[in-house]
């Protein structure tokens, strides 16, 4: 990840600010506030603002006036109860705003989570940076044969080199044409004084989807956890998972009690249907039950077996 001199100075200026406040602040999150946390080859995640902490969730749930005399262990018990029983509104009392630099194809996947306030860098107004995402060799994989939206085996040798060259060359070629259409180079100089540049809103359509964009993304803690539950999961696409993992670490710094409950009940836990519950009860009693008797589909059965690590009962 490369930051310009201007960007580095801006971050330095932001981090040197001092402000007195009566609002809740979180020392661990303050340590990384405004910092550009690297993601992929040119991307980053920055926490630029936040509101509330674990006590804000507790106060909301109790509708109390302040922290009072409750112990941390009591707060932890309440937050775990809220998480365990899917009580949602208290977690909406905390908010966080990120500044994120990411490839366009990941941004288009990300924007499907329609639960945040988003303002993206405008390529109608400004010229996009000459930066493209190129996967590392270990993340260059073939299409999965069993999952229509997943990856299979990693490409190797000459095929991997060929694919990387295609990605790189296409990105550089289309960006060069982008500059020609704009009649403006990346450094701001004019290509041909006699020539008019195409409107930026039209020239941008020629760029490849691995071009980087940026946005501010503000959301509440509840919807952030819903996002992270899906995107920090090992089934998620690698590139978006990189960002989710970084954001998950900021949640740990921001609301550690909630983070522990989230990891326990949402990330590490599992949901079981009524039929699944009966099957597990039979296994506990050492009673046999077959797929045909269970009322589950083959996929449901295997997901249940995997969740409880009953590998010997998987149906091939």
54 neighbors 254 (Cβ within 8 angstroms):
no
- Number of other CB atoms surrounding residue 58 within 10 Å: 25
The residues annotated with a catalytic role in the active site are: 231
Q: Do residues 103 and 50 share a domain?
A: yes
179 neighbors 172 (Cβ within 8 angstroms):
no
Whether residue 193 is contained in a domain is answered as yes
**Token pair in block for residue 302:** 């295997």
Range of the domain at 261: 5-126+210-267
Q: Do residues 202 and 216 share a domain?
A: no
Check which CATH number belongs to the domain holding 61 and give it. Answer: 3.30.1360.170
Whether residue 155 is contained in a domain is answered as yes
What is the sign of the dihedral through the CA atoms of 133, 138, 144 and 148?
negative
C-alpha to C-alpha distances, 234 to 190, 220, 239, 298, nearest whole angstrom: 46, 23, 11, 22
218 neighbors 17 (Cβ within 8 angstroms):
no
In this predicted structure, what is the pLDDT of residue 191?
Answer: 85
In this predicted structure, what is the pLDDT of residue 171?
Answer: 97
Helices (H) and strands (E) in the chain, counts: 13, 7
229 neighbors 266 (Cβ within 8 angstroms):
yes
Q: Do residues 117 and 227 share a domain?
A: yes
Query: What is the spatial distance between Cα 289 and Cα 272, in angstroms, rounded to a whole number?
Result: 17
Phi, psi dihedrals of residue 58, rounded to the nearest 5°: -65, -45
Q: Which of 110, 161, 164, 170 is nearest to 134 (CA)?
A: 164
Question: What is the phi-psi region of residue 76: left when phi exceeds 0, alpha when psi lies from -120 to 50, beta otherwise?
Answer: alpha
Whether residue 131 is contained in a domain is answered as no
34 neighbors 48 (Cβ within 8 angstroms):
yes
Across 175-246, the runs of DSSP E, i.e. the strands, are: 212-220
Q: Do residues 117 and 258 share a domain?
A: yes
The SS3 of residue 40 is coil
In this predicted structure, what is the pLDDT of residue 66?
Answer: 59
**Token pair in block for residue 259:** 């983070």
- Residue 132 is classified by DSSP as B
In this predicted structure, what is the pLDDT of residue 185?
Answer: 83
Q: Do residues 223 and 106 share a domain?
A: yes
Query: What is the spatial distance between Cα 84 and Cα 262, in angstroms, rounded to a whole number?
Result: 9
Q: Do residues 94 and 215 share a domain?
A: yes
Q: Do residues 108 and 67 share a domain?
A: yes
Q: Do residues 227 and 178 share a domain?
A: no
Return the C-alpha torsion angle 246, 247, 253, 256, nearest 10. -120
Query: What is the spatial distance between Cα 186 and Cα 178, in angstroms, rounded to a whole number?
Result: 10
Q: Do residues 174 and 241 share a domain?
A: no
Question: Would you list the DSSP string of 238-307?
Answer: HHHHHHHHHHHHHHHHH-HHHHHHHIIIIIS-----HHHHHHHHHHHTT----HHHHT--HHHHHHHHHH
Q: Could you report the average pLDDT of every consecutive run of 10 residues in the chain (316 residues)? A: 83 88 93 96 97 95 66 85 95 97 97 95 91 91 72 81 94 96 85 88 95 97 97 93 98 98 94 94 93 93 93 88
Q: What is the 3-state secondary structure (H, E, C) of 254-270?
A: HCHHHHHHHHHHHHCCC
In this predicted structure, what is the pLDDT of residue 65?
Answer: 57
- Report the predicted TM-score, pTM, of the whole model to 2 decimal places: 0.90
Q: Do residues 24 and 159 share a domain?
A: no
* 159-167 own/partner pairs: CB under 8 Å, 24+ apart: 164/134, 164/135, 164/137, 164/140, 167/132, 167/134, 167/135, 167/210
Number of domains in the chain: 3
Q: Do residues 39 and 101 share a domain?
A: yes
pLDDT digits (tens, 9 = 90+) for 149-203: 677 777 888 888 899 999 999 999 999 999 999 998 877 788 888 889 999 999 9
């Amino acid at each position: 990840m490369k930051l310009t001199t201007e960007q580095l100075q801006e971050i330095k200026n932001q981090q040197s600010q001092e402000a007195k406040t009566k609002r809740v602040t979180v020392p661990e999150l303050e340590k990384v506030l405004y910092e550009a946390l690297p993601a992929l080859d040119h991307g980053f995640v920055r926490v630029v603002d936040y509101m509330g902490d674990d006590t804000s969730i507790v106060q909301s749930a109790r509708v109390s006036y302040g922290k009072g005399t409750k112990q941390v262990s009591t707060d932890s018990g309440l937050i775990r109860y809220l998480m365990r029983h899917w009580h949602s509104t208290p977690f909406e009392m905390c908010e966080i705003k990120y500044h994120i630099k990411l490839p366009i194809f990941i941004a288009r996947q990300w924007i499907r989570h329609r639960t945040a306030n988003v303002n993206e860098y405008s390529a109608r107004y400004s010229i996009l940076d000459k930066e493209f995402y190129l996967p590392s060799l270990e993340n260059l994989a073939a299409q999965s044969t069993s999952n229509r939206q997943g990856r299979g085996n990693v490409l190797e040798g000459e095929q991997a080199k060929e694919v990387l060259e295609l990605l790189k060359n296409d990105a550089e070629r289309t960006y060069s044409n982008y500059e020609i259409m704009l009649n403006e180079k990346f450094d701001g100089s004019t290509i041909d004084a006699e020539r008019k540049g195409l409107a930026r809103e039209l020239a941008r359509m020629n760029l490849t989807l691995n071009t980087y964009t940026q946005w501010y993304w503000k959301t509440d803690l509840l919807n952030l956890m819903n996002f992270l539950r899906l995107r920090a999961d090992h089934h998620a696409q690698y590139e978006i998972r990189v960002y989710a993992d970084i954001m998950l670490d900021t949640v740990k710094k921001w609301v550690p009690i909630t983070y522990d409950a989230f990891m326990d009940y949402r990330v590490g836990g599992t949901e079981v249907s009524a039929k699944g519950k009966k099957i597990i009860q039979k296994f506990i009693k050492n009673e046999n039950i077959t797929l045909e008797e269970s009322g589950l589909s083959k996929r449901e059965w295997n997901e249940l077996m995997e969740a409880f690590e009953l590998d010997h009962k998987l149906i091939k």
